[in-house]
Amino acid sequence: MRLLEEVYQWTPQDSQTDASFCFYVSEGMKQIRIRFEFSPGTETDPRLCFPPIEKAMNRYYDSYPRALQPMEKESFLPVKNLITISLDKDGVYLGNAHRWATEQEHLISAEQASLGFLPPEKMAGEWHGMLHLHEILSETCTGHLIVEGE
Amino acid sequence: MKWYPVELHTHTQHSDGDFTVSELVHAAKQRGFHAVCLSDHNTMSGLPELYEAAEREHMVPIPAIEWTTYWGHMLVLDEQGYTDWRGVRPEEIDAAIASIHRNHGLAGIAHPFALDNPINTGYHWDFQVADWDSVDFLEVWSRDNAPCKIQSYRALQLWETLLNRGCHITATSGRDWHREDTYHYAHTYVLAENLTKESVLHAVKAGQICLAAGPLLTMKGIRSDGTQVQIGDTIDAGKIEIELQLDDETMPNDWEKASVTAKEIQLVHNGKVICRLAPDASQRVCVNAASGWLRADLIGSFYGKQDQKIALTNPIYIK
Ligand SMILES: [Zn+2]
Ligand SMILES: [Zn+2]
């Protein structure tokens, strides 16, 4: 049974913000399946990538000579868009799947949970979650979140 | 009291590492560590496996989480309870650290001057700490090649600025280990009678930690009455006898003796080198120290680069 479906359109202005979501699990449901996809996962357009990469490098070097630790801006391509999911239930933080994956599936029951999450005390009730937009470099990035109860 | 190598910063598949928890603990054991801290990004879901794996491998497990925010990464060790990393604004970090302390956890700033977005998200420390005394530790060395990186020079500079202000803040090294590799890493050593979670955490809090990328340099002070002071402790200003030990038999599985070689020991007092010594295995020297802090550094070569800081102690504080 579908508990939640959201479609998102993000831009670089949404970087470093969170998108909250919430869904309700009824009594008797044994497991939830959270599927989240976003696209694109990486950005290679030099016009978009190089200015922020150079900014990060300038910030890194500060007043130190670059020859002390040479780096090539090209070596940082492609840049990844990074979006992760965190969950909490009944005021208890369950965890976060902090990794680069553009197609994610997380299965959670009271006994087991996918990597990054702890199982909740009980499944039934209101769930809260957040999408963490660590980095959106692409001009537009679309996301699709589906939560199903089984 | 003995010096034990410990790793305070690691990741597994519970976040973005390649290691399973078992693989991580096994790899740490193989390298020669006695304790390993699991600090996955924003999750503690690997901790049940950490305890099992550590028991199998006879390692000391240290539970942790790495706050992986938009404004910086912070290592939180052994918090009893949970302070939410989410939604903490740059100006709210002091309140968050106070909450971690109420829950008996330790808070340390990870890789404060690492390359930031879009290369590494949130790696550069941008939280506005008002009360630096509340920060338990600062990871001045991060990842591979730590002695020679600009981010290390900058982190050491920040650390000295804080020490000069009178803060007691512990410098640590973190491998930030995500997967098996053959890079060259530095090591964190803690001083303890017996190594337990509690003694590791006590050493982090008390500044009884030395960092070494090769030979281990340790220091203690001897008062005029013959009693000893360890690093992290406070001693009265005036004439102090310092005992220095250099041990190149440590962590033999993780660095090459021919590639990390000692050239000179320096005593650093309130940011200035006051004494240069030969890298002898054991020696004593007398210094006249004013109020502030006193640290020992080892200068030498690191995989082809000359005149690098290849080891350092945390300071003895002087009042
Ligand atoms: Zn980090
Ligand atoms: Zn890390």
HEC secondary structure over A65-111: CHHHCCCCHHHHCCEECEEEEEEEECCEEEEEECCCCCEEEEEEECC
CA–centroid distance, B234 to ligand 2, in Å, is 32
Domain limits at A34?
A: 2-41+81-149
pLDDT number for residue B95:
98
Distance from CA of A31 to the nearest CA of B (A): 18
Decide if A134 touches B, using CB distance below 8 A.
Answer: yes
Q: Which of A89, A95, A135 minimizes the C-alpha distance to A114?
A: A95
Asked, as a colleague might, if the bond just before B215 is cis with ω within 30 of 0, I would say: no
Q: C-alpha angle A34/B179/B204, rounded to 5°?
A: 95
Distance from CA of B227 to the nearest CA of A (A): 43
Alpha-carbon distance B32 to A117, whole Å?
30
CATH number at A101 reads: 2.60.120.380
Within a domain: residue A140?
A: yes
Q: Do B16 and A52 touch (CB under 8 A)?
A: no
Q: Do A113 and B115 touch (CB under 8 A)?
A: no
pTM of the shown model: 0.98
As beta bridge partners, residue B209 has B190
CB B136 within 8 A of CB B204: yes
pLDDT number for residue B107:
98
CB B106 within 8 A of CB B143: no
Within a domain: residue A73?
A: no
Mean of pLDDT over chain B? 97
CB A12 within 8 A of CB A139: yes
pLDDT number for residue B224:
84
Within a domain: residue A116?
A: yes
Within a domain: residue A10?
A: yes
pLDDT number for residue B225:
87
Within a domain: residue A70?
A: no
Residue B147 has pLDDT above 90, yes or no: yes
CA–centroid distance, A38 to ligand 2, in Å, is 24
Q: Write the pLDDT tens digit of every residue in B265-303.
A: 999 999 999 999 999 999 999 999 999 999 999 999 999
Spell out a b/e string for A42-59, using b for 16 or more CB atoms within 10 Å of the CB, else e: ebeeeebbbebbeebbee
- Say how many domains are in chain A: 1
Q: C-alpha angle B132/B174/A116, rounded to 5°?
A: 95
Alpha-carbon distance B4 to B153, whole Å?
25
Decide if A44 touches B, using CB distance below 8 A.
Answer: no
Within a domain: residue A125?
A: yes
Decide if B90 touches A, using CB distance below 8 A.
Answer: no
Section B118-136 average pLDDT: 97
Within a domain: residue A34?
A: yes
Nearest CA in chain B to A85: B42
| Residue A41 DSSP one-character state | S
Q: Write the pLDDT tens digit of every residue in B181-237.
A: 999 999 999 999 999 999 999 999 999 999 999 999 999 999 888 999 999 999 999
> pLDDT tens digits for chain A (150 residues)?
999 999 999 999 999 999 999 999 999 999 999 999 999 999 999 999 999 999 999 999 999 999 999 999 999 999 999 999 999 999 999 999 999 999 999 999 999 999 999 999 999 999 999 999 999 999 999 999 999 999
Within a domain: residue A52?
A: no
Residues with Cβ within 8 Å of residue A65, at least 6 apart in sequence: none
